[in-house]
Amino acid sequence: MYDNNPTLDPHKPLDESQQGSVYFKNADAPGDPEKGTRHFYIESYGCAMNFSDSEIVASILGEVGFQPTRDMEIADLILINTCSIREKAEQNVRQRLRIFDQVKKRRKGTLVGVLGCMAERLKAKLMEEEKLVDMVLGPDAYRDLPKLVAEASQGEKGINVLLSREETYADISPMRLDSNGVVAFISIMRGCDNMCSFCVVPFTRGRERSRNAFSIIAEATDLYQRGYREVTLLGQNVDSYKWENPDSKEVVNFANLLEMVALVHPDLRIRFSTSHPKDITDEVLYTIKNHENICNYIHLPVQSGNSRVLKLMNRTYDREWYLERVKAIYRIIPDCAISADIITGFCSETEEEHQDTLSIMKESDYTMSYMFYYSERPGTLAARKYPDDIPLAVKKRRLQDVVDLQMEMSHANNKRDIGKTFKVLIEGNSKKSDQQFKGRSGQNKMVIFDKKENLKVGDYVQVKINSVTRATLLGEIV
């Protein structure tokens, strides 16, 4: 059965350049250990896919008698689901492993496992060099976790980092960790075929494979029946989703899948992440336009605004192609919001090319961006072929240029919403006041508004915007 959902903001895009320094705790897990029950504690770093994978891991462990806990001090098994996108993410993981080692010393018998992309990239080094880890599992090996836990309990360290061309975990119902009971992730595909020169994902998550469409619809239907009102379809590159029905031989593409999920119920709101500019077709855009419950928001990573740099990045599109897709989005869905990922200081980037990134931001009118300076990752094409020749101070200064411009653009974009009314899904209390609700508009903007009687989390409301900040819309229910 499909259970509750994680507190990680499901609207945060899946992003091959993401730092991934935030960790996840099972805040909705049982607080008091039951006598004789084994407990696991899990933290996740990086992209939304990692947080979704942690729910799959939780379900697999639940089948063999483990219960989640918020308290690592009572955990029989401590897991960390890792990210290899940036060096900082790996540094964070190593720091956490040293903390977990202190827990192991206080509580004899506790096991520690490393999951995910860092496990895939560093493999046995994690056990040999760190000597803090009892098991290492890559993203396609989670079904082996119970076996490796049993072996580790007998003193045998275990590792499985084999990548699969078939594994999608389609038959596993995720245990929704740390839930508000309203929004949930649905993983629709795994892996990536794009081979961007700066990115480790194809090496840590393998080739693209799409999940059975009927299992996705079943999961979405189950979530709606359990009270959820929003799902985010996840994949490294959702637009390249393609599944062939083995019986009818009919091919389901991403536009088809979007429509199928939208038809589950008009009150089930749909988001998706992440899109690749080469795959965001007009068919997808018209599907969004034709279904009110598919949110008018597209995360469209640009990475750079310069065609030469994009070619070095192996992004398979140039500046003109990207801007044509942006124009198509605004033409077909006039009130659509677009966000992006941006990398500054990529190999050999000149000052003039940096200015091209600033100008494409303006032309695209992003509502928000995820912004980073380039971090070379071992094993990638860029690390093998291109010198990381931009000084760190220059990378950081260019990043600050991008951040300053995006803050200015976000504020201006939000100001244009003053006086407008948006349909908002209530997700919970505002962080600053329990007298106010928070929720998101279809354009993925956070909206804060005063409570009214008889309204609850999971309800839709119409909110008129009266004022704004750079990050938030402030309004009243109308």
CA distances from 216 to 173, 241, 247, 307, 475 (A): 11, 12, 17, 37, 35
CA distances from 140 to 17, 35, 53, 185, 296 (A): 21, 33, 10, 18, 32
DSSP letter, residue 128: I
Instruction: Determine the Cα–Cα distance for residues 160 and 149; give it in Å rounded to an integer.
Output: 12
Residue type at 2 in one-letter notation = Y
Which residues contact residue 434 at a Cβ distance below 8 angstroms, ignoring those fewer than 6 apart?
none
What per-residue string of b and e applies to 373-399 under the rule 16 or more CB within 10 Å gives b? bbbebeebbbbeebebebeeebbeebb
234 is a domain residue: yes
Q: Does pLDDT of 174 surpass 80? A: yes
pLDDT digits (tens, 9 = 90+) for 202-231: 888 899 999 999 999 999 999 999 999 999
pLDDT at res. 31: 37
pLDDT digits (tens, 9 = 90+) for 234-291: 999 999 999 999 999 999 999 999 999 999 999 999 999 999 999 999 999 999 999 9
Q: How many Cα atoms within 13 Å fall on the side-chain side of residue 453?
A: 0
Question: Which of 94, 125, 160 is the last residue in one of the domains?
Answer: 160
21 is a domain residue: no
Is the same domain home to 147 and 259? no
Among candidates 346, 197, 361, 189, which has minimal Cα distance to 279?
189
Tell me which residue range forms the domain holding 84. 38-160
pLDDT at res. 27: 34
SS3 call for 114: strand
Is the same domain home to 470 and 409? no
Is the same domain home to 327 and 392? yes
CATH number at residue 156: 3.40.50.12160
pLDDT digits (tens, 9 = 90+) for 416-475: 999 999 999 999 999 999 999 999 999 999 999 999 989 999 999 999 999 999 999 999
Instruction: Determine the Cα–Cα distance for residues 9 and 441; give it in Å rounded to an integer.
Output: 14
Determine the longest span between alpha carbons in the chain, in angstroms.
65
pLDDT at res. 393: 98
154 is a domain residue: yes
Looking at 70-218, which runs of residues are DSSP E strands?
A: 77-82, 111-116, 135-137, 158-160, 183-187, 189-190, 209-210
Which tokens in the block code for residue 120?
């895939």
Is the same domain home to 460 and 396? no
Is the same domain home to 261 and 296? yes
pTM (2 d.p.): 0.87
Looking at 69-139, which runs of residues are DSSP E strands?
A: 77-82, 111-116, 135-137
pLDDT digits (tens, 9 = 90+) for 284-335: 999 999 999 999 999 999 999 999 999 999 999 999 999 999 999 999 999 9
Neighbours of 147 (CB within 10 A): 13
pLDDT digits (tens, 9 = 90+) for 125-158: 777 765 789 999 999 999 999 999 999 998 888 8
Number of separate domains in the chain: 3
Q: Does pLDDT of 89 surpass 90? A: no
Q: Does pLDDT of 9 surpass 50? A: no
Is the same domain home to 299 and 256? yes
SS3 call for 34: coil
